[in-house]
Amino acid sequence: MPTDTNHIKLEEFYKRSNVKLGDLVMIETDKGTHEGILIPRYEYADAYHLVLKLKSGYNIGIDLGKIKSIKKISEKLDPVYKPDLFTKYKDYFSQKNSDRDFPQGKLPHLSLLSTGGTISSKIDYRTGGVMAALTAKELNDSIPELKGIADIDTDEVLNEYSENIKPEHWSLIAKKVASKILSGKYDGIIVSHGTDTMHYTSAALSFALQNLPIPIVIVGAQRSSDRPSSDASLNLIGACNFATKSKFSGVFVAMHNSISDDIIACHIGTRVRKNHTSRRDAFHSIDVSPFSLIKKDQVEISKQYVDLIIQERHNNVESMIVKPDFENKVSLLKFYPGFDCSMIDYCIELGHKAIILEGTGLGHVNKECFSKIQNAVNEGILIFMTSQCIWGRTALTVYDTGRDLLKLGVIPLSNTTSETALVKAMWCLGNFTEKKEVIKTMTSNIANEFTNRLVVE
């Protein structure tokens, strides 16, 4: 038990009390006892307070001088764990065939478009919360390293947290990106974006802009740019390195590959998902490897790319396909035990044109949904099936349930993620009037939303 805690600093206090960050502790003060985990103090806190994360999720600051006793309940352990869901990628990446030819001594040109989100935000020191603040220009100016990579023009498209991004915003961003590309001035486009729905937007741009002459790299941050712990600058530097140095085009998402500040992963726009609420390596490629790893200024490409639809850069900006429209009238319904299948009726009532059913396992819903699905199909509504498992493929031929669903007209989408399936259905219905064409497009591989590789048992 520590005594004389006045006027000693946090580090010394921890040492004396034989505790460390991450430990679960019980602290007694004159106001009562508090159980929680020792977490790093905020940047703006002084060195005479510790911060305790309570069970409720709230953090409290405690004046060291007020602490009567501190008792360790349990040591810090690795906080999270998951078995190797996927094969590790030893020797999976290579720099061979990656770099483009670019005249030496000349800086490439990039366009940086901001849309809002944490990457464009600052801490509000009054509330301790985060607020949208930075423009693309301010963001660019705040990271001096970028000046060594490219000449960057900046432009603001939106200023929204990404939970507020809607299909009409995707159209807006797609048109802005297309106009930058058509100017012929740029070697790549960087779009800064909130992380919450970044993977929906990356899927949207993957369908809206095809046969791209140059890469579009979407980038975000899990911590606001003005914090020393921010991942913004490394993500942006990685995105700019990929956009200038790689010889490939397409739509990508660049974010941390792990929690250490060394490698940025560049994911294919239709295959990426935010899988963690707060970690900097929250984004993962689903069912494939990331397309590229960026280690400092070195760009390595996955050997798996030979199986994917990845294009090289080209100069023919006019051949770019721009189909920026999205239809809002599409729903995504996650199925679960006790699911009220009249939700399907309600989608009919709303005049929705397609429903993505996020089924269980291989793509199943219960028997009670069958008649509702039949009604919807009879009304001309397209019903697509994905899986809430995240990884792996739907397969409606294995079990009775699946075969019944196929007979009802449900269209399985293999290993298209639910999020990409939703965006693609919105895009198909926004651009094609013939139902046949919508179905054909939904079941064809446009931008790696289907991958060819079998997920081996």
Positions annotated as catalytic residues are 118, 195-196, 274
Of residues 54, 153, 141, 157, the one with CA closest to residue 108: 153
User: Between 84 and 101, whose beta carbon lies closer to a second copy?
Assistant: 84
Q: Is 258 in the site for a second copy (CB under 8 A)?
A: yes
Handedness of CA 232, 235, 239, 245 (dihedral sign): positive
Classify burial at 258, counting beta carbons within 10 Å of its beta carbon; exposed 0-12, middle 13-18, buried 19 or more: exposed
CA dihedral 25, 28, 31, 32 (to 10 degrees): 70
Q: Which two tokens stand for residue 237?
A: 């530097």
Site for a second copy in 117-176 (CB under 8 A): 127-131, 161-167, 169-170
Distance CA 382, CA 378 (A): 10
Residue pair 272/262 in contact by the 8 Å Cβ criterion: no
Residue pair 196/245 in contact by the 8 Å Cβ criterion: no
Site for a second copy in 100-119 (CB under 8 A): none
Q: State in angstroms the smallest separation of the CB of 255 from a second copy.
A: 11
Q: State in angstroms the smallest separation of the CB of 233 from a second copy.
A: 16
Q: Is 358 in the site for a second copy (CB under 8 A)?
A: yes
Site for a second copy in 267-306 (CB under 8 A): 274-282, 284-285, 287-290, 303-304, 306
Residue pair 42/50 in contact by the 8 Å Cβ criterion: no
Q: Is 406 in the site for a second copy (CB under 8 A)?
A: no
Q: Which two tokens stand for residue 116?
A: 């809002």
Note the residue count of the chain: 457
User: Between 128 and 184, whose beta carbon lies closer to a second copy?
Assistant: 128
**Which positions from 408 to 437 touch a second copy by CB under 8 A, shown as an x/- string?**
----x-x----x--xx--x-----------
For a second copy, the binding residue among 6, 18, 33, 74 (CB under 8 A) is: 74
For a second copy, the binding residue among 135, 374, 379, 392 (CB under 8 A) is: 392
Q: Is 370 in the site for a second copy (CB under 8 A)?
A: no
Query: Of 147-155, 181-189, 240-248, 398-406, which part binds a second copy (CB under 8 A)?
Result: 398-406
Query: Of 8-16, 136-144, 171-179, 396-404, which part binds a second copy (CB under 8 A)?
Result: 396-404
Query: Of 1-9, 41-49, 72-80, 377-385, which part binds a second copy (CB under 8 A)?
Result: 72-80
For a second copy, the binding residue among 1, 45, 47, 77 (CB under 8 A) is: 77
Q: Is 401 in the site for a second copy (CB under 8 A)?
A: yes
Residue 383, CB half-sphere, CA atoms under 13 Å: how many? 30
Query: Of 1-9, 221-229, 232-240, 243-251, which part binds a second copy (CB under 8 A)?
Result: 221-229
Non-local (6+) Cβ contacts of 265 within 8 A are 254, 255, 256, 257, 281, 283, 285, 290, 292, 293, 294
Site for a second copy in 31-70 (CB under 8 A): 37, 39, 53, 55-58
For a second copy, the binding residue among 33, 229, 375, 378 (CB under 8 A) is: 229
Residue pair 39/76 in contact by the 8 Å Cβ criterion: no
Distance CA 57, CA 32 (A): 18
Classify burial at 306, counting beta carbons within 10 Å of its beta carbon; exposed 0-12, middle 13-18, buried 19 or more: exposed
